[in-house]
Amino acid sequence: MAAAIIEEISEFLQKGRAKNVKKLVEEALAQGIDAQEILNEGLLSGMMIVGGKFKRNEVFVPEVLVAARAMNAGVAILEPHLVAAGNEPMGKAVIGTVKGDLHDIGKNLVAMMMKAAGFEVYDLGVDVEAETFVEKAEEVGADVIGMSALLTTTMPNMQSVIDALNAKGVREKYIVMIGGAPVTESFKEQIGADYYTADATSAAEVAKAAVEAKKA
Amino acid sequence: MNSIERFYATVNREPVDRPAAWLGMPDIHAQPALFAHYGVKDFHELKLAVGDDFYAVEIPYQSPNSSAIYAAFDWYMDGNVDAEERTLTTPGCFAEAEEPEDLEFFEWPDPAKYIDVEECRRRVEMAPKDKVCLGVIWSAHFQDTCASFGMENALMNMIANPEIYEAVDAKIMEFYLKANEIFYEATKGRLNAVLIGNDMGSQRGLILSPDMVRRFIIPGCKKLVEQAHSYGLKVIYHSCGSIADVIPDLIEAGVDIIHPIQALAAGMEPKGLKEKYGDQVSFCGGVDTQDLLVNGSPEDVRLKVRELRSIFPTGLIISPSHEAILPDIPPQNIEALFDEAQKPGKTSLV
C-alpha cells in the first residue's frame, strides 16, 4: 500500500502535477507513512528521474520546472514533519552566479537538482561578490560552493572566489564546483576548482558523490 | 563581386569570389578598443573600416520608456525597461495571469507612435550603396513573452496553461508585424536582409522540446519570414546555442540563413551542418567567441577561417559565433578574421 501511493506521488511529480502531489503527500502522511520515506522515495527520487531525462535531452527546461514546482509543493507539506523528526540534509550547498553575471536559469536548475539530491541549498542569486560566497559558506558550514557564469567576461570571477577562499585559508574545507555555457574542464583545472559539470543533474550527482566520499 | 552580389550568391549557395563576412554588433564596452585599433571615432566608421560586407541598422524606436525596440514593453511596470540589472527570470507583470482578462490592464505600445519614418530612411541612407543593408529587427516574440511572465513562469505556462502563453505571444506578434511593416515601407528598396530571432538553445541542447518549439516559436517565425519575403528581403534567423534539432523546422518556415553557427554548442559543428543542411539553407557565424576569439592568437583565428572556407566554399557568412562581441576579444583577432575571410579565391588548409 505504502509503495503504491509513493509510486503515484513520484509519477505525478514527473508530470509536474503539483496539486495531485500535494493531495497524495497529505494522504500518505495520513496513512502513517514516514515523512522521510515520502520525501526520499516519492519526491526526491521522482525529481531525479526527471533530472536523468533532462541530462539525456529526453525532457527540457519546462518539464524540469513544473516537476520542481510539484516537488516543492510536496516538500512544503512534509517540512514540519521532517523538522520535528530532526532529519539532516545530505549536505549543504551555497550557490550563485558570479560577480557581473545575471544569467540565472542554469544556476536555478542546479539549485533544483541539488535539492532533489537531498542538499540544503543556499541560493545567493545573481551577481554575487566573491566574499559573499565565502562568508555564506563559512556561516552555514557548507560542503559545496557552486558557481555559474554564462559570459566569458565573468568567468574570471570564479577565480576570484577561489582566491578569496585561499586568502582566508579555508579552500580545503569546500568542494568547489563550476558550470555555465563557456565553462570547461580545462578552465576548472586552470582556476583550481574541484569539479566542472555540463548540466544541472550531473552537478547534483557529482556533488552528492563528492560529499559522501568526503564524509566517508 | 561587391558585397551585395557576394551576399546573394551566398544565400543561393552559388560560387563566390570569397566568403561574405559580418562583424556583428559589438557590445558597447567592446567598442572603444575596436575604435582605437582601427583608428576610427564611431561605430559607423568602424563598420566601414573593418571591411564588413554588411551595414547593420536597427529600427529607430523612441517611446517614453524605451529607446530600443527590443525593450519596447514595460513588463515590470516601473518605466525602466532597459534595466541591465534585471534577470530573465524576474517575474513580469503577467506572472500571476491565468485568464485572458488578466492581461487587460496592460498598455500595449503602438509602434506607429514611436517609430520615426524619417529616421528609418536616414539610417538606411547611411549604408554605403555597395554594402548589404541589414535591418536588425529581432522581433523576439518568444523572449518577450518569457519576460512578460518571467522566464520560468512562461516556460511552465507552456505546459500548464498554454492558452495564456499564446494570448500574450499573439499580442507581441501583432506589435512586431506592425513595427516591421512601418520599417519596411519606409526603407523600401534600400534594405537587403533582416535579422530576426529568439534564443532557444543552450550549450547542450534546446531549452524547450522540439515539439514545443514547433508549437510556440515556429508559427511566429513563419509570419515574420513571410512578411520580410513579401518585401523581397532575405531572412537571417538568430538563436544562441544548440538548435540543431529544429533547423529543419526553420528551413521549412522559409529562413534563408541560420545565425550563428555557435561553434562549441552541441551538434553545431560546421562540418556536420554543412553535410546535413548545406544544400537547403545558408549559415552565418562559425568563429567561436567562447574560447577561440577570446583566448586564441590571430594565427589560430586565421586557421579557423581557412577551415570554415574549406568546409563552406559558399553558403556561409564568416562571422563571430555571437554577434555581440565582448570586450575580452582582442581587436587583433577581429582583424585576423576579416583579413583571412577577405583573401580572394579558394582556400586550402595546407
Sheet with A119-123, edge to edge strand ranges: A119-123, A91-97, A144-148, A175-179, A195-196
Contacts of A63 in chain B (CB under 8 A): 159, 209
Given pLDDT bands bounded at 50, 70 and 90, which one contains residue B345?
confident
- Quick check: is B26 in a domain? yes
Q: Identify which of A16, A106, A151 has the shortest CB distance to residue B159.
A: A16
Q: Identify which of A60, A105, A182 has the shortest CB distance to residue B88.
A: A105
Please name every residue paired with A202 in a beta bridge, in sequence order, or none if there are none: none
For A97, nearest residue in chain B (alpha carbons): B87
Q: Identify which of A62, A106, A127 has the shortest CB distance to residue B158.
A: A62
DSSP codes, B175-196: HHHHHHHHHHHHTTTT--EEEE
- Quick check: is B346 in a domain? no
* Res. B348: pLDDT tops 60: no
Identify the CATH number of the domain in which residue B76 sits. Answer: 3.20.20.210
Give the CATH class of A91-215: alpha beta
Contacts of B327 in chain A (CB under 8 A): 153
Prediction ipTM score: 0.94
Write down the pLDDT at residue B82: 61
Question: Which of A98-126 are b and which e, b meaning 16 or more Cβ less than 10 Å from the residue's Cβ?
Answer: bbebbbbbbbbbbbbbbbbbbbbbbbbeb
A3 touches chain B (CB under 8 A): no
Please count the other Cβ atoms lying within 10 Å of the Cβ belonging to residue A146. 30
Contacts of A103 in chain B (CB under 8 A): 87-88
Q: State the average pLDDT over residues B134-151.
A: 96
Write down the pLDDT at residue A162: 98
CB contact under 8 A, B85 and A104: no
Write down the pLDDT at residue A126: 96
Domain with CATH 3.40.50.280 in chain A: 91-215
Closest CA to B266 of B198, B200, B206, B199: B206
Each residue's pLDDT expressed in tens, for chain A with a length of 216 residues: 568 999 999 999 999 999 999 999 999 999 999 999 999 999 999 999 999 999 999 999 999 999 999 999 999 999 999 988 888 899 999 999 999 999 999 999 999 999 999 999 999 999 999 999 999 999 999 999 999 999 999 999 999 999 999 999 999 999 999 999 999 999 999 999 999 999 999 999 999 999 999 988
- Quick check: is B75 in a domain? yes
Domain that holds residue B47: 3-341
Query: Which residues contact residue A115 at a Cβ distance below 8 angstroms, ignoring those fewer than 6 apart?
Result: A44, A47, A68, A71, A75, A121
Would you tell me which residues 166-185 of chain A have a C-beta closer than 8 angstroms to some C-beta of chain B? 181-182, 184
Please name every residue paired with B236 in a beta bridge, in sequence order, or none if there are none: B195, B257
Domain with CATH 1.10.1240.10 in chain A: 2-85
A32 touches chain B (CB under 8 A): no
- Quick check: is B350 in a domain? no
Write down the pLDDT at residue B113: 98
For B245, nearest residue in chain A (alpha carbons): A57
Residue given cell 515590470 in the structure block? B76
Q: Give the residue numbers in B contacting A (CB under 8 Å), as ranges.
A: 84-89, 151-152, 155-156, 158-160, 202-209, 212, 241, 264, 289-291, 294, 326-328
Q: State the average pLDDT over residues B276-292.
A: 97
For A70, nearest residue in chain B (alpha carbons): B156
Mutate to test the interface with A, among B202, B216, B239, B246 (most CBs of A within 10 A): B202
Given pLDDT bands bounded at 50, 70 and 90, which one contains residue B350?
very low
Q: How far apart are the first and last CA of chain A?
A: 35
CB contact under 8 A, B156 and A63: no
Question: Mind telling me how many Å the CA of B183 is from chain A's nearest CA?
Answer: 32
Residue given cell 538548435 in the structure block? B243
Question: Mind telling me how many Å the CA of B155 is from chain A's nearest CA?
Answer: 5
A69 touches chain B (CB under 8 A): yes
For A156, nearest residue in chain B (alpha carbons): B328
Write down the pLDDT at residue B336: 98
Contacts of A182 in chain B (CB under 8 A): 203, 264, 290-291
* Res. B349: pLDDT tops 70: no
- Contact (CB, 8 A) for B132 and B55: yes
Burial of A8 (0-12, 13-18, 19+ CB in 10 A): middle
CB contact under 8 A, B212 and A66: no
Residue given cell 549536505 in the structure block? A91
- Quick check: is B349 in a domain? no
Question: Mind telling me how many Å the CA of B207 is from chain A's nearest CA?
Answer: 6
**Which CATH superfamily includes the segment(s) A2-85?**
Methionine synthase domain (1.10.1240.10)
Instruction: Tell me phi and psi for residue B266, to 5 degrees.
Output: -60, 130
A22 touches chain B (CB under 8 A): no
Report how many domains make up chain B.
1
- Quick check: is B348 in a domain? no
